[in-house]
Structure 1
């Protein structure tokens, strides 16, 4: 009765399934993070303003916020395999459309790929909850590391790809359609993985709309949202802040790369550790503390120590993201509730992430310096600690 669902699959199918999860996870970050390094080329190629570029970078996050609450309902109606399969088709089409030379196609393609990525973002934790009951930590680590590795690689290779004359920025963005197309082959509908007993099957068909009234669900949601706000604000603004502190543009870019590569091992390790703990409060305290330490270090200390502070922020970012994903599985009763929880948290989370960098920039414009917006991030780290302590406490499922 308490056998693990992953035992239902034979070894070759388990391996095939895990590869599919890795490819799906890799497809969910690269199409978004590949845009940043090409902003100048895109602005020049499309003849648009900086304000329009800013709106383009917000669009995927707003799409995540809009579609995330619907993903679980769509999945219940059509089945997870089919839902992911068709979302990957939409993702591939959106990537191709975005890489055509026109502002209208760029906008439409960006919206479509944002919708598709939102579906995958929400359903992946539910798939792990359903199919790898005793390996939630390990498999969360696998897909979280895959997402962040593809994100870092995408940030690094887009400019070299765009410098190839016959590719240009359009070809560099379109190249990531090959990744989603490959993932598509692993998600051709084969029938859903069934629950191991009637009781679990019944639970997985129940709706979990009560989550929106749950104090625990809101603590998890706010933890997810606040860590997203911090991460995307840092990605958007720290290169300019570091240049103001005397770094060259290239050095500032390498500091962001250092942060992203530092977080990679922690996106894999933290879920495994968290899965073995009844309470994750110690990990939450470490995460919030490292965020606060790193941001305050960048704000007040010597520029010589900036690599140390970026490593601190990188560890915190990897830990915070992984804990968010783990909470969806650890703090829910079944895969359907995990999908609902994931949808709720990612909807609010990416809405905060979309407007966080905007608020950060507004504070800079109002005050005329970087200290106030950085203090805002430090205060956000304190809130992350407060809500994370509630999300990470031991509960009885």
Structure 2
């Protein structure tokens, strides 16, 4: 691999790193934020849900923007939106928290869609390992934010400092990526490419629902694991540490699962097994003795990290070419993250209604069972079958 490809690969990993701190940084400070802003548990649920909902709403625009302006330039926009949104969240009032979360969430949506297609386009001979590396980087960003946000906030004397800090890496990577994005030509400029539709294809729907259900579990973890652990009696720093450790374990499974799963024609068993592990360990965090919480947090991380990695791998393996990969990624994340948005929102609503997290066990179990079923179907060794439609002038 030459130096240019190494630089491109490193930049993609750094971009991926910036796609998750938005979620875990708010999670570990959620009690402080709700108290300072005077918002209810239900409103806190909306705050954790809004950026996830934006992932679904804005995902469909990524492939079209990439066709018109080039994936590299859209990824630059992604970084700028994440940085600006992260700064806005630290502003004064609920409105800036929500608007900043939405802006950063919209950027993350497009980054989520484009990274798999860029990997398939520029690293066709290293798809599995690059998929593992960028999913590992995603988890690493989430883990670092979970571990460091509370100490940063305490050192800075305010939760606002903790949230605003995560604008810095986004802007730093944007500066690094800027020259490459400006040099990159627009692929396909001057010629109308036929549109691709996947909404008729049953396998595409299974892939999309699998992405959504595993994401629902993931965002319940990123948004509510720390509050759940604090409800179990842990202090804020320890709860943040356990959450960080759980997410950090995902780094290893994200790296190992894609190359291993790609060796097999079918990924059905991987998908169903990892969904079971992730959901079962999350249920254990609600009810198991406190002495088992560290082990269960690690097991949840193993299952959740592998589950996310296999979902991203399946998008690439079920796609015959990079353009289809971009469309399947867009469809999966449009449907998937809208579906996923209901997970953390329902956790907040159930907790607000009952004053306890115990009732969320039914939600976590239902999501886990549905993820197992959809993952089994999505893992079958088939390609999705897109339909071409006339390109717009």
For residues 112-191 of structure 1, the aligned pairs below 5 Å read: 112-165=103-156, 168-188=158-178, 189=181, 190-191=183-184
Q: Which residue of 2 aligns with 1:321?
A: 308
TM-score normalised per structure 2: 0.86
Q: Per-residue deviation at 1:272?
A: 1.5
Q: Which residue of 1 aligns with 2:387?
A: none
Q: 1:267 aligns with which of 254, 266, 269?
A: 254
Contact 2:281 2:296 in 1 (8 A): yes
Q: Which residue of 2 aligns with 1:308?
A: 295
Contact 2:119 2:127 in 1 (8 A): yes
Large movers: runs of 4+ above 6 Å: 365-369
For residues 136-285 of structure 1, the aligned pairs below 5 Å read: 136-165=127-156, 168-188=158-178, 189=181, 190-192=183-185, 205-209=193-197, 211-242=198-229, 247=234, 251-285=238-272
For residues 82-121 of structure 1, the aligned pairs below 5 Å read: 82-121=73-112
C-alpha distance in structure 1 between counterparts of 2:226 and 2:121, whole Å = 40
Q: Which residue of 2 aligns with 1:382?
A: 369
Question: Which is further off, 65-74 or 289-298?
Answer: 289-298
Alignment CA distance shift 1:288-1:170 (3 Å): closer
Alpha-carbon RMSD:
2.8
Alpha-carbon deviations, 1:228-259, whole Å to 9, x = none?
11222234444455455565555544432332
Contact 1:281 1:393 in 2 (8 A): yes
Q: Per-residue deviation at 1:79?
A: 1.3
C-alpha distance in structure 2 between counterparts of 1:307 and 1:394, whole Å = 37
For residues 326-345 of structure 1, the aligned pairs below 5 Å read: 326-345=313-332
Alignment CA distance shift 1:187-1:374 (3 Å): same
Q: Which residue of 2 aligns with 1:3?
A: none
C-alpha distance in structure 2 between counterparts of 1:19 and 1:326, whole Å = 19
Contact 2:42 2:345 in 1 (8 A): no
For residues 28-47 of structure 1, the aligned pairs below 5 Å read: 28-47=19-38
Q: Which residue of 1 aligns with 2:380?
A: 393
Q: Per-residue deviation at 1:17?
A: 0.6
Q: Per-residue deviation at 1:347?
A: 1.6
Alpha-carbon deviations, 1:21-50, whole Å to 9, x = none?
011111111133212222344345545444
Q: Which residue of 1 aligns with 2:391?
A: none
Contact 1:136 1:275 in 2 (8 A): no
TM-score normalised per structure 1: 0.85
Identify unmatched segments of 5+ residues in structure 2: 385-393
Alignment CA distance shift 1:140-1:171 (3 Å): same
C-alpha distance in structure 1 between counterparts of 2:161 and 2:239, whole Å = 26
Q: Per-residue deviation at 1:115?
A: 1.2
C-alpha distance in structure 1 between counterparts of 2:284 and 2:158, whole Å = 39
How many residues are matched? 379
Alignment CA distance shift 1:32-1:45 (3 Å): same
Question: Which is further off, 58-67 or 348-357?
Answer: 348-357
Q: Secondary structure at the match of 2:323?
A: helix
Question: Which is further off, 235-244 or 353-362?
Answer: 235-244
Identify unmatched segments of 5+ residues in structure 1: 1-6, 196-201
Contact 1:243 1:252 in 2 (8 A): yes
Q: Which residue of 2 aligns with 1:4?
A: none
Quick check: 1:20 aligned with 2:11? yes
